[in-house]
Structure 1
């Protein structure tokens, strides 16, 4: 098929690669504009999708908006059979949605209608969902409200958002390739709006650990925010991110350090850090961290 691909972060790269590997003609890639980055924060850095498309020799466009008539005409002029969208990051106006012969298909990282919105993987982990997955959806004007063409599921277990993102990116890539093969025979299924939940963008205020919460909830928060933005607490005036924790026995005042292996009391139960990162330092395991950052028993973390 003649395809326009629209995506931005690492999550979208496997889908782009899978489309090329399946011998589809990807005529153009749309992605977010380059952002300041590099060591000094001044160099314009192309997105992961931009980089892969360049490596593949595919034309790349990165408009700041698709609302102008000129951009919409340029999009329509590509005469695509379908547009494949994966974490693109821009709203698609109706003329863009209508331009390809088979419309625009989205790789969404949840089992719709659960977790419509910007942060479906984070929210699924933080909520304690037992499973998540990928939905291939026919896009329409509403936020992730379009009819569903295919789904695939995977258990969450004790995975972090980072680990799940990598897994779902590969699942979504293969699911999209299979969907395109079967597209003429598929029957889109409307979502149950009454069952919908919204995956709001992660707010930075959510990342600070509230030790009065139950240990199980804090453990899910840590996994849900790992590796970015990272759930954190203060130690000697510095931020310390928790990247992995485990539940353990113990009780005390919320935030109290219960023993020399850094078991920390929560509102109910306790957790022990497994992997931590002090501000400006690399991530490290607990033993390495404690050698340079001893925390006295009885300390109360904030």
Structure 2
């Protein structure tokens, strides 16, 4: 919901928002997902003055943080939540002395809402893109593929060594070949089951080396 101008004008110092990106990059609904999926090396928190536009207001404070090589949206969300809580307290305590910084026109990107149609894995893509898709869509909606005819959510991964036909299982540790390179699956979830580490998953649902996902 975009707040009407009357509401935005009601407080003496206007309305402030905690936004989980380094504006003007990733304005919009899903900045954490999109930053990971795009392969951004860093993201952060902006405390911004709210305007009628979508995340267009001047920035009062910003703080950057590196995105971990194996970090999921859930993990990054929790870190940014803590950063945002600390930064808004800082902003409120120094509100009178902070100078709003107008967002530049250059570098504007929009973080569109995540569509469930983005979740199916295409193993012909490069490993880096598949890995970012898995981590960026974890935990919701959860990237997925079919393993032996059953849909399985993939909730964590990392880049791995190996080559093979796209979707080929390369070893007994769930290393999967992509269009180029490979990824190792670190967290999986079958329908009706809890999320599991690879060794637990494989005990209940064996996946043979050489099979194709």
Q: Which residue matches 2:79?
A: 167
Query: Following TM superposition, by how much is the alpha carbon of 1:261 offset from its aligned partner in structure 2, in angstroms?
Result: 2.4
| Partner of residue 297, structure 1 | 209
In structure 2, what is the Cα distance between the partners aligned to 1:259 and 1:172? 41
Q: Determine if the alignment matches structure 1 residue 277 to structure 2 residue 189.
A: yes
Could you tell me how far 1:125 is from its partner in structure 2? Answer: 0.9
Across the aligned residues of Structure 1 and Structure 2, the Cα RMSD in angstroms comes to 1.1
User: What is the CA distance between 1:193 and its match in structure 2?
Assistant: 1.9
The aligned residue for residue 40 of structure 1 is: none
Any gaps of 5 or more consecutive residues in structure 2? none
Residue 109 of structure 1 corresponds to: 20
Q: Distance in 1 between matches of 2:139 and 2:108?
A: 27
How many pairs align? 212
Residue 94 of structure 1: how far off its partner (Å): 0.8
Q: Is the 8 A contact 2:49 2:57 kept in 1?
A: yes
Paired residue secondary structure (1:164): helix
Q: Could you tell me how far apart the structure 2 residues matched to 1:209 and 1:242 are?
A: 9
CA shift at 1:205, angstroms?
Answer: 0.8
Distance across 1 between alignment mates of 2:101 and 2:51: 13
- Taking the aligned partners of 2:19 and 2:135, their CA distance within structure 1 comes to 20
Secondary structure, counterpart of 1:276 in structure 2: strand
Alpha-carbon distance in structure 1 between the residues aligned to 2:172 and 2:100: 57
Between the aligned partners of 2:158 and 2:78, the Cα distance in structure 1 is 22
Residue equivalent to 1:144: 55
CA distance in 2, matches of 1:206, 1:99: 40
Higher Cα radius of gyration: 1
Q: Which residue of 2 aligns with 1:5?
A: none
The residue number in structure 2 matching 1:201 is 113
State the 1:298 CA deviation.
Answer: 2.4
Tell me: higher relative CO, structure 1 or 2? Use CA pairs within 8 A at least 6 residues apart. Answer: 2
Q: Could you give the per-residue CA deviations for residues 200-239 of structure 1, whole angstroms, max 9, x where no partner exists? A: 1111011111101111111111111111111110123321
3-state DSSP of counterpart to 1:284:
coil
What does residue 249 of structure 1 align with?
161
Equivalent in the alignment of 2:179: 267
Equivalence for 2:36: 125
1:179 match: secondary structure: helix
